[in-house]
Each structure stands twice: as C-alpha cells, then as structure tokens.
Amino acid sequence: MRLMTMFILFFTIMLLFVGQQRYLTDVELDREINPYWSVDIFEWNSSIMENNIVNESQLEYRELGRFTNMVYKFGDFARYSLFEFAKFSIEAGYTHPEYDYNTFMTLIKWMIIITIFMIFAPLIIPLFILIYIMVDGIINLIKKRKIKNKNG
C-alpha cells in the first residue's frame, strides 16, 4: 500500500477520534449533543483562490492565463474536497462514539512498519553481499600473510 493512501487513512482515523472526543466532552460537560454544531464553526473561504484568477485579456498569451485559471480552480476544488471530507469524518466520529477506532490505528501502525520494511528490504541482500565480500577479503589477506610468513 502506498504511503499516501496510508496517510489519508491515518488522517481520517485521527479526525474520527476528534469527533469521538468532542462527543465525550459534550457528554461530560452536559451540553446539548449536536453533531453538526461541532463542524459548523468551520467555514470555507474560497476568496483566497478567487483573488488569483487571471484575466486572459491582460496577458500576451491567453492560453497561459486559461491554464493558470484551471490550476487555481483545481487547487480550490482539492482544498474544498479535503475540507468537506474532514468535516464528514469529524461528524461520523461524533455520531458513532461507540465504535473503537483503536483497531484501525493498530492496523495502520503495522501497515506503516511493513511498508518501511518493504522499502528497506531491497537493501538487505546487497548489504549481505558487501559483508561477505569484506569478510572473504579479510580471510584472503590473512591466508596470504600466513603463506608469506611460512616462505619468508
């Protein structure tokens, strides 16, 4: 599994934990339980990207302006999608506090360990070969010295 996929899973489970802790805090403080109140305080501000939109008529190359606008719109879409996904994860954790997400965290922890092992596994065989060559060279040097000392 790729590292980015594991990062997304880790991010999602962290947000589910945030929702659960928010629920437990509301129960502990005897507040009104409303899953949407916990994420309604987050508002998306799309004006950040709207300020960067380029007017094509001002540019010498119109295609470049259109391409720049596409990049800005895609960035806005990606950030908005991540923002809404984070709100969804917090709401899901808030509305389902009875689920135990620690098993998912343990699974992700083991997946990260396995991935790190898989990244370094191709280096193990060359390392053994390098150690073998070094040991073999040292043994040959010792044998040559013994032969020289016998003849010398």
Strand ranges for the chain from DSSP E: none
Amino acid at 152: G
Which position has the token pair 């805090």?
25
All residue ranges of the chain with pLDDT < 70 are 1, 35-63, 152
Residues 35, 91 contacting (CB under 8 angstroms):
yes
Could you tell me if residue 134 is left (phi over 0), alpha (psi between -120 and 50 degrees) or otherwise beta?
alpha
Residues 116-148: pLDDT tens digits? 888 888 888 899 999 999 999 999 999 988 888
C-alpha dihedral, 11 to 16 to 18 to 19, nearest 10°: 150
